[in-house]
């Protein structure tokens, strides 16, 4: 069976609270993580909460990289969804671990859009050509 994408859920524990509460630091770390993963960045949006915490998303051509921080708990939740086969998420996630000062990381990966497609290419993949799209229809 093929899947349309993979979603990696990462929990960063025992992080540096000051880094988790610094919107510019989080935005740069996320941008760099997306680039290191080999993703194509489309747009970035980050928001600083009061009294503390940052949420943000880096929209990538392959899907998204999102973060939510809780400085008061030294915790950050990161979600990387990709429908591309060229992304190397481990590189970006290792970078985030370092940039957040995390001492403990938990990772869970899910296959998303698991389809029973027999002898047909997945049309959203880079190797899909007009001929394969017509054949699948």
Q: How confident is the model at residue 2 (pLDDT cuts 50, 70, 90)?
A: confident
Task: Using only the alpha carbons of the chain, give its radius of gyration.
Answer: 17
Mean pLDDT value across residues 77-105: 93
Tokens matching residue 7 = 């979603």
Domains of the chain by range and CATH?
Answer: 2-136 (3.60.90.10)
Of 31, 39, 37, 54, nearest in space to 90 by CA: 37
- Between the alpha carbon of residue 18 and those of residues 46, 65, 79, 92, 112, the distances in Å are 16, 21, 21, 21, 34
The pTM score is 0.83
**Residue 3 near residue 63 (C-beta atoms within 8 A):** no
With the C-alpha atoms ordered 7, 9, 15, 17, is the resulting torsion angle positive or negative?
positive
Q: How confident is the model at residue 77 (pLDDT cuts 50, 70, 90)?
A: very high
CB neighbourhood size of 92 (10 A): 26
- What is the rounded CA–CA span in Å between residue 49 and residue 55? 8
3-state DSSP assignment of residue 112: strand
Mean pLDDT of the residues in the chain:
88
pLDDT tens digits, 56-74: 999 999 899 999 999 999 9
Which residues are identified as catalytic? 63, 68, 83
């Amino acid at each position: 069976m093929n899947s349309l994408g993979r979603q990696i859920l990462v929990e960063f524990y025992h992080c540096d609270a000051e880094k988790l509460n610094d919107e510019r630091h989080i935005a740069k770390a996320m941008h760099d993580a997306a680039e290191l993963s080999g993703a194509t960045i489309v747009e970035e949006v980050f928001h600083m909460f009061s009294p503390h915490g940052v949420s943000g998303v880096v929209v990538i051509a392959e899907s998204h990289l999102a973060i939510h921080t809780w400085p008061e708990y030294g915790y950050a939740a990161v979600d990387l969804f990709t429908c591309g086969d060229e992304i190397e998420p481990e590189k970006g996630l290792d970078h985030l671990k370092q940039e957040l000062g995390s001492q403990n990381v938990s990772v869970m990966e899910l296959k998303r859009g698991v389809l029973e497609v027999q002898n047909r290419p997945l049309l959203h993949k880079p190797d899909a050509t007009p001929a394969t799209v017509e054949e699948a229809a």
